């Protein structure tokens, strides 16, 4: 019976790397908040004053650097473009969940999974309750490990244009749910309602496509 999980040593290394990333980012957030005299979790209303603009660009650069770090370790871990993409999803998911976990340990924030957070800045502010990005991260970890394990065991993953298109569509719908409050956030408001039906549709499309991609191929007639 072929192994369906990636090698334990590789998985452990990826796990430790992502946890270390999460710890480092949470520590930086706590340190910066203390240096600026701003309690951790003070996010809304966001500061759009001219004095804050340099910090916005630094934050955009930090987000870009984080993606480069995730992509770099995924490139080293994978042996094919698809496996590298799978590992990127695993690293991203562990890092994201670990970030919130360490923030809570360090500062008590977020106080609940329903707490609102500013998730990303481009092309407009993404906002959502903490449970939403965690749900996405859990799905990325599960699919990433399953995909990497299948490929490492010599199996195949159905990843044609239809599957890729469905995954991209699901991701776009999820992102749209995070952007529904972008105008309110830019106007200095604090979001209170999340477009969870849109989020659920996007997650459903993406998870359905992932499930189809991982479904074993039917044996050929006469085989």
pLDDT tens per residue, range 142-176? 999 988 888 887 777 877 788 888 988 999 999 99
Helical (H) or strand (E) element with 120: strand 116-120
Residue 97 domain flag: yes
How is residue 187 written in tokens? 């106007």
Closest C-alpha to 21, from 81, 88, 79, 82: 88
Residue 147 domain flag: yes
Report the number of distinct structural domains present in the chain: 1
This prediction has a pTM of 0.88
Residue 44 domain flag: yes
Residue 72 domain flag: yes
Rounded mean pLDDT of 81-92? 92
Tell me the residue range of the domain where 170 lies: 8-214
Q: Count of CB atoms within 10 A of residue 157's CB?
A: 20
Closest C-alpha to 207, from 150, 135, 111: 135
Q: How confident is the model at residue 201 (pLDDT cuts 50, 70, 90)?
A: very high
How many whole angstroms separate alpha carbon 89 and alpha carbon 70? 9
Residue 115 domain flag: yes
Rounded mean pLDDT of 164-189? 92
Residue 28 domain flag: yes
Residue 220 domain flag: no
Q: How confident is the model at residue 1 (pLDDT cuts 50, 70, 90)?
A: very low
């Amino acid at each position: 019976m072929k192994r369906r999980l990636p090698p334990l040593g590789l998985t452990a290394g990826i796990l430790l790397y992502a946890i270390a990333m999460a710890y480092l980012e949470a520590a930086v957030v706590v340190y910066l908040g203390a240096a600026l005299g701003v309690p951790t979790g003070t996010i809304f209303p966001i500061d759009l004053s001219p004095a804050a603009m340099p910090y916005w660009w630094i934050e955009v650069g930090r987000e870009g650097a984080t993606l480069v770090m995730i992509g770099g370790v995924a490139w080293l871990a994978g042996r094919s473009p698809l496996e590298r993409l799978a590992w990127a999803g695993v690293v991203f998911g562990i890092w994201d969940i670990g970030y919130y976990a360490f923030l809570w340990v360090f500062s008590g924030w977020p106080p609940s999974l329903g707490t609102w957070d500013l998730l990303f800045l481009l092309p407009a502010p993404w906002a959502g309750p903490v449970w939403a990005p965690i749900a996405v991260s859990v799905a990325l970890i599960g699919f990433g490990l399953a995909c990497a394990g299948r490929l490492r065991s010599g199996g195949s993953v159905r990843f044609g244009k239809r599957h890729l298109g469905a995954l991209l569509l699901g991701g776009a719908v999820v992102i749209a749910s995070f952007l529904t409050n972008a105008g309110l956030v830019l106007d200095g408001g604090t979001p209170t309602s999340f477009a969870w039906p849109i989020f659920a549709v996007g997650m459903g499309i993406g998870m359905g496509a992932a499930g189809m991609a991982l479904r074993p191929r039917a044996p050929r007639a006469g085989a």
